[in-house]
Structure 1
């Protein structure tokens, strides 16, 4: 009888020991998890959402830099036309930024805007040979990636894929529309004189499709 009583008395102590060991293991595991966990504040640089590519943010960040660079390097239209007529390749190498489809040329001029057609206005520029047609993209659609490619500092390798690279170009165009074209009444530009700074891709030397970074209507 006494042996059975002793065995029965020993069971609660054994159970308590197991409970204590289990609790200790839980504390150890929780502590290890805590040590291996990094707290990420919403909006911080470690927030994955902040690491995702945002075309809108990219365009807003890059356009002012492109605008400043193009303005700094812009060549007067008359000088540029003469250089292209003399040696198209040499002019592209001297003044432009190379791309796979032709150099992007920075240009500045003052001229009289013609009627708005589709997404552009033709501009008549004094001193420019009459066979050279200059059109300025005034929207609503802005075509091409000339602004993205204008400085040579934005390259495909900086992006995850081709879609992201294209989105970057579109976002820069959209930011230009907000910063430069939003205040213009394109329907009322015809007959007005304006100073323009912009870029065009040198493919046909007699046809310049200029994407502006500045338009100052007189």
Structure 2
């Protein structure tokens, strides 16, 4: 029995030497600026996003974006062509394309009772919503992170850090952009949006996370 215990201990040591498991509590401590128990540099996703936002994120999205109608129509006929031209997805894995769009239209729907508030935008003047734009404060998904070709999962220590990094994009947008948006009498106002959405294979209506949004005055 003692030999078996020693063997297990050796095997455990060998396994741990090739793969480092990071406890959630440690990651949270690092995220808050305390660093890890191993003395690693503190992981601060909010600062990472802030540092790259103006210099890299906005210029990239501006250059990559296509007019919403053109992107939508191409995605319907040739999803991969639309993805290569207007979006990004990692080479590995089975993640969908994330498409980058710019849209101008009129707000025809507003759901502001939920924390995951949204507006429906009509871009062709028929009075019907063509895309849904998230206006928070709670934002679903990680479309902004996933649209960037210069961000790689492999650059992060673990999946928790990668998820926190994705969440930091949403938090920045809410903090610096969406909190200032009006919440009353939105229907009928003009709106312009630069944002991203995942291409849903089930044909769901696009749910756009904005990186920039401007809402016009009440009519």
* TM norm structure 2: 0.69
- Structure 2's unaligned 5+ residue stretches are 1-37
SS of structure 1 residue aligned to 2:101: strand
* Residue 147 of structure 1 pairs with residue 144 of structure 2: yes
Q: Considering only aligned residues, what root-mean-square deviation do their CA atoms show, in Å?
A: 2.4
Q: What are the equivalent positions in structure 2 for 1:114-153 lying under 5 Å apart?
A: 114-117=109-112, 118=114, 119=116, 120-126=118-124, 133-153=130-150
Rg: which structure is higher? 1
Q: Which is helix-richer, 1 or 2?
A: 1
2:86 to 82, 87, 95: 95
Q: Where do 1:104-123 residues align within 5 Å? A: 104-113=98-107, 114-117=109-112, 118=114, 119=116, 120-123=118-121
Residue 206 of structure 2 is aligned to residue 208 of structure 1: yes
Q: Distance in 2 between matches of 1:97 and 1:77?
A: 16
Contact conserved, 2:133 with 2:210, CA < 8 A, in 1? yes
One of 57, 63, 66 as aligned partner of 2:47:
57
| Cα distance in 2 for residues equivalent to 1:128 and 1:151 | 33
TM-score by length of 1: 0.70
**Alpha-carbon distance in 1 for matches of 2:75, 2:178:** 28
- The question of whether the paired residues in 2 share the 8 Å contact of 1:81 and 1:128 is answered with no
Q: How many residues align?
A: 170
C-alpha distance in 2, partners of 1:156/1:207? 27
Structure 1: runs of 5 or more not aligned? 1-47
